[in-house]
Amino acid sequence: MSDLDSTKYNIEYPEHSRLPRTVGKPLQPFTQSILHVYEKMFELPTFIMINQSQNQQDTELFVSETIQPYKTQLSRFLSAITELPITGDEVQILPHSFKKEDQEANGCSYPPSTQLVAFMPLILQQRVVALVGIMYHAQLSTAATFPRAHLQTASNSDQRENADLTKKLKSFRNLARILVPGLTRLLAANDMNDRLHTNETSPRTCTKRPLNPKEILTVRNIDPLTALRTREGFEQRISDAIANLSSPDQRVALFYVDLDHLKVINDAHGHAAGDAALVAVADRLKQMECNTITALRIGGDEYALLLKDTTSQQIRALLEELPSKLSYPFHHDDSEISPKVSIGAATFPDHANSAKELQECADTALYHAKKRGRNCTSLFNQVMRTRLDRQLSLQQTTKQALIENQVGTVFQPIMSSQTNKIKMLEARPEWPAQIHEIARGGDLSKMYDSASFSSILGKTLITAIVHAMRACHNTQLKHWEFLFRVPVPSLLKEGFCDALKSVLRENNIMADKFTLEIPSRTLLQANTHFLIDELNDLTKTGVKLCINHYDSGGLKIEHFQKLNIAYIKLHAGSVEKLFEDSKTARLLTAATEFAHALDIEVILSEIKNKSTEYKLRKLRAEYVQGELYAPAQHFSQIYEAYVPGKSQNTKLKLNSTRLSRQLLSMVN
């Protein structure tokens, strides 16, 4: 959503409005808060006029500070307009001349200021109950009028002003069409009429009476953009629903609904389209409201549905049909937009014993839906909780290990399949035992590429590589190459390749002995043509490129055409599974032959036994890697084994070497 979203959810309410109301002390009008939100969105002086009754004189006008001097005249002007029959609910634009009120009082004869007044009426039961609008200062004269005839000549400044005016009025029209119906829904809200009113003569006596529009807008728990309830008092609503369950067979369900990829809509169609998407989803949720269903906007792009006195069968049916209901396309300007949603659901008492637990379970289910790729639903189960708890524990343990410098670096040799000699060393994180106890499957790989830890892990590895390459200089190991698998967030960071070139140059590292390993999926992301250009420029210094996960189908023919690739890396476990099917085996074999034809060498990694090695011989990999050939070790151990007469003191000397400041900031 736009940057204005935080404004909508951080409205500063006066302290007295959060406290029990004392007799004779008026509520701070919520309309004023809405006005502050709207004027930031319209980017022009804004006004809201509320008609409290059939009497046109019984109105209240709220205006931006910049047009406060025109408030009285604007009120008369708008009152005159509302006396006229208004049949449509479209934006109307009228010019009007205003004098500042202090000039009127002093009898000054300064020329009036001509303003364009654009407004949209809120019509309820064939009556204009409110107006929302803007004022735009227009320098109108005989030479420049609005609207300007297209044959009339105009100066450059007039043309710029007209272009700016047209842009702002179009923006107002688009936003008003989104926002104003929301206020109309507020005015039409049936449950608002049941609000209790405190009798001033007897504060403890409560009677029901209808609310007029002004009082409705003083209710603080309504979102001004979507007209849905906000999260104020949300947990209490859940608690009340749980307390009022009518039978053991009834359930309380909580659905968390998240609008997927709102930033993509904002970037592709503009922030007004993003707001329109939020309103479209809100409208569809609003239509589902009834005695047992309540819709809320939790904040940002997240909503909630609270279901009470329902059954497990009804919950599952709604969860199944909800995505299609919410994802129906809508039109904004000339674009058709199809919003997609992720939904997580949980029920009481099946999954939780309290309102707080129910929220946590629904949030866990939503997290699971997002991890599955979004645009899907998840109903909570205990496996999700166990998995989430493990992930949180892994993150916390990793964070603590990094703070205490417990994550080191080991080097896994990559051997020639023909000579069984070391071709290069790959740097890898050395995770402490407490992390291995928690991690499962691909957890450690995901941790390496996570935005939270990639920076410090990448820094640890590149520092160790530079130390090791320095140690190999002027020894029989100087022909060894070193492979650095760059974390994805660091690779996509602007200026990474330039920083790497500076690191190698400033530390006297031979660039042709440095290999940069890149996940193939990174090349499928948007705007990678910039990355490809930078990588090719990097290879001109001698740095080599290795693409991993080639077996996952992440590379396209164009990548071979555009990138100077030296190696491709295949994971033995993945390849072995592909070889179980004869067709995929032939395809993969053909792909490696294609790489060989382009003089690209193949590395087969993670080989654990002779059986796997034998099965994969037909790929004719030039290099192999795995525990079968050589274990991952500290560089000092490898160094001592290959350079006679050297001890672990070398490690101490290397660690005391000061690296350039550029190296330490490269992966941040």
pLDDT, one tens digit per residue, over 4-37 is 333 222 222 223 223 333 333 343 455 676 777 7
Q: Taking Cα atoms as reference points, which of 453, 455, 454 lies closest to residue 398?
A: 453
What residues pair up with 196 in beta bridges, in sequence order?
Answer: 208
Q: Which two tokens stand for residue 450?
A: 């996570």
Average confidence score pLDDT of the chain: 77
Tell me if the domain spanning 408-666 has CATH number 3.20.20.450: yes
Helix 271-287, helix 312-326: angle, nearest 10: 150
**Dmax over Cα atoms in the chain, in whole Å?**
102
Model confidence, pTM: 0.54
Residue pointed to by tokens 């297209």: 150
The predicted-structure confidence for 256-304, as pLDDT tens digits, reads as follows 999 988 888 887 788 888 888 898 898 889 888 888 898 999 888 999 9
Q: Which two tokens stand for residue 325?
A: 């209901």
Cβ atoms of 57 and 65 closer than 8 Å: no
Average pLDDT over residues 368-392: 84
Q: Taking Cα atoms as reference points, which of 157, 164, 301 lies closest to residue 225?
A: 301
Which amino acid would we find at residue 263? K
Cβ atoms of 244 and 308 closer than 8 Å: yes
pLDDT given for residue 10 in this prediction? 27
**Measured in whole angstroms, how far is the alpha carbon of residue 579 from the centre of its chain?**
39
Give the number of C-alpha atoms closer than 13 A to the C-alpha of residue 384, restricted to the C-beta side.
21
Q: Which two tokens stand for residue 146?
A: 């609005």
Alpha helices in 23-153 (DSSP H): 30-42, 71-83, 101-106
pLDDT given for residue 161 in this prediction? 62
Tell me if the domain spanning 228-380 has CATH number 3.30.70.270: yes
Alpha helices in 288-381 (DSSP H): 312-326, 355-371
Cβ atoms of 35 and 42 closer than 8 Å: no
Q: Is 647 exposed, middle or buried (0-12, 13-18, 19+ CB in 10 A)?
A: exposed
Label residue 538 by pLDDT band (50, 70, 90).
Answer: very high
Full 3-state SS string of 414-466:
EEECCCCCEEEEEEEEECCHHHHHHCCCCHHHHHHCCCCCHHHHHHHHHHHHH
pLDDT given for residue 667 in this prediction? 42
Cβ atoms of 86 and 119 closer than 8 Å: no
pLDDT at position 440 over 60: yes
pLDDT given for residue 428 in this prediction? 94
Gap between the Cα atoms of 358 and 304, Å rounded: 12
pLDDT at position 585 over 70: yes
589-616 as b/e, with b when 16 or more CB fall inside 10 Å? bebbeebbeeebbbbbbbbeeeebbeeb
If you count DSSP H runs as helices and E runs as strands, how many of each does the chain have, helices first? Answer: 25, 22
Percent of the chain exceeding pLDDT 90 equals: 23
Neighbours of 579 (CB within 10 A): 18
Which amino acid would we find at residue 62? F
* Lowest pLDDT segment from 15-19, 327-331, 614-618: 15-19
The predicted-structure confidence for 486-499, as pLDDT tens digits, reads as follows 888 888 787 888 88
Cβ atoms of 624 and 602 closer than 8 Å: no
pLDDT at position 149 over 60: no
Average pLDDT over residues 458-473: 91
Gap between the Cα atoms of 630 and 277, Å rounded: 55
